[in-house]
Amino acid sequence: MGAQIRVYRQKISSTTSMRKIFKAMELIATSRIGKARARVAASLPYANAITRAVSAVASQSEIDHPLVTEPAQIRRAAVLVISADRGLAGSYSATVLKQAIGLNELLREEGKEVTTYVMGRKAQAYFDFRNLPYERVWTGNTDAPEFGTAREVGAALLEAFATDYEEGGVDEIHVVYTRFKSMVTQEPTVIRLLPLEVVEEQAASESDLPPLYEFEPEAEQVLDALLPRYIESRIFAAMLQAAASELAARQRAMKSAGDNATDLIKKYTRLRNTARQAEITQELSEIVAGADALNA
């Protein structure tokens, strides 16, 4: 009986230590989520402005540019998967990886080859464990993205897009990431970066009309200069959205883990008390039995 009590004490002690870790990670995620959301909001004006500029150039000019022209046949597609470097974030990485695998299967059903680019150690470990090929991998600071990484990723994807199919190039580029909607809702999302899809919407007022540009030099050269920056900004925006989603998922997962640890501690404490009462009762019974035997 005493051994059972020691087991429950050890379990209570270890669970209490784990609860402290969960609480600390929850507080860290909570303190960082505000900054991550602020970075997402700060990136929107530039991303929206450059998107309008690229859309205006592509829609107001009848040009045949490879970055905005749909190819006659798409034979190979590139898929960039943005996951997390660290775990303890619930189903965050598993959900985005499931979305990426579903996209890869859909592209292969359409008769396209798939070249995968990976961001985050969780995605890298997933592909390595299953012996799935990928072209390149970027790891480190997925919960605090840096623009230099986005520039490097954008350069690699544009290089693959500019390369001929026979030499290993791709005809279109997709990005799979988690879009931050709220603290309780994060949505796995797929966007196609290239070829550029320009959606022309009807303006609600004159202030919403797209600006008219005069191009000097030609529109093709303007696109050559704008589109790399457009790709970098879209990738960086996706990284920021994924970082905010990761922190929100981790904060929620750590809170749930801490609550479960508290419930376990209560359960183990109740079992320990029950075992202790049983031990005391047995000892009293033995004392009474011994006294009765002596009296007899």
Residue 206 has pLDDT above 80, yes or no: no
Residue with tokens 């290239």: 194
Strands 172-180 and 186-194: antiparallel
Predicted local confidence at residue 217, as pLDDT: 67
**pLDDT (mean) for 259-273:** 91
The CA-atom distances, in angstroms, between 215 and each of 58, 61, 210, 228, 236 are 12, 10, 15, 18, 27
pLDDT band at 209 (very low <50, low <70, confident <90, very high): low
Whether pTM > 0.85 for this model: the answer is no
Q: Which of 57-71, 93-107, 153-167 is predicted with the least confidence, judged by mean pLDDT? A: 57-71
Torsion of CA 222, 227, 232, 238, to 10 degrees: 130
Is the pLDDT assigned to residue 256 strictly greater than 80? yes
Report whether pLDDT(218) > 80: no
Q: Mean pLDDT for the chain? A: 85
> Residue 162 has what pLDDT?
86
Q: What is the pLDDT of residue 211?
A: 58
Condensed to tens digits (0 to 9), the pLDDT of residues 240-254 reads 999 999 999 999 999
Render 126-149 in DSSP notation, one character per residue.
HHHHTT---SEEE-S-TTS--HHH
Among residues 235, 176, 188, the alpha carbon closest in space to that of 92 is found at: 188
Backbone dihedral angles phi then psi of residue 113, each to the nearest 5 degrees: -80, 155
Instruction: Using pLDDT thresholds of 50, 70 and 90, give the confidence band for residue 1.
Output: low
Q: Rounded to whole angstroms, how far apart are CA atoms 167 and 165?
A: 5
Question: How far is Cα 278 from Cα 155, in angstroms, rounded to an integer?
Answer: 70
In the three-class reduction of DSSP (H, G, I as helix; E, B as strand; rest coil), residue 81 is classed as strand
CB–CB of 97/128 below 8 Å?
no
What is the residue extent of each domain of the chain? 25-252
d(CA 236, CA 154): 9
pLDDT given at position 279 = 78
| Tokens 């592509």, residue located | 58
Superfamily name with CATH number, domain 25-252:
ATP synthase, F1 complex, gamma subunit (3.40.1380.10)
Residue 203 pLDDT level (bands cut at 50, 70, 90): very low
User: 208 vs 65, which has greater pLDDT?
Assistant: 65
pLDDT tens track for 2-37: 678 888 889 999 999 999 999 999 999 999 998 999
**Sheet (strand 76-82) strand order:** 136-138, 113-119, 76-82, 172-180, 186-194
Q: How many CB atoms lie within 10 A of CB 59?
A: 13
pLDDT of res. 62: 65
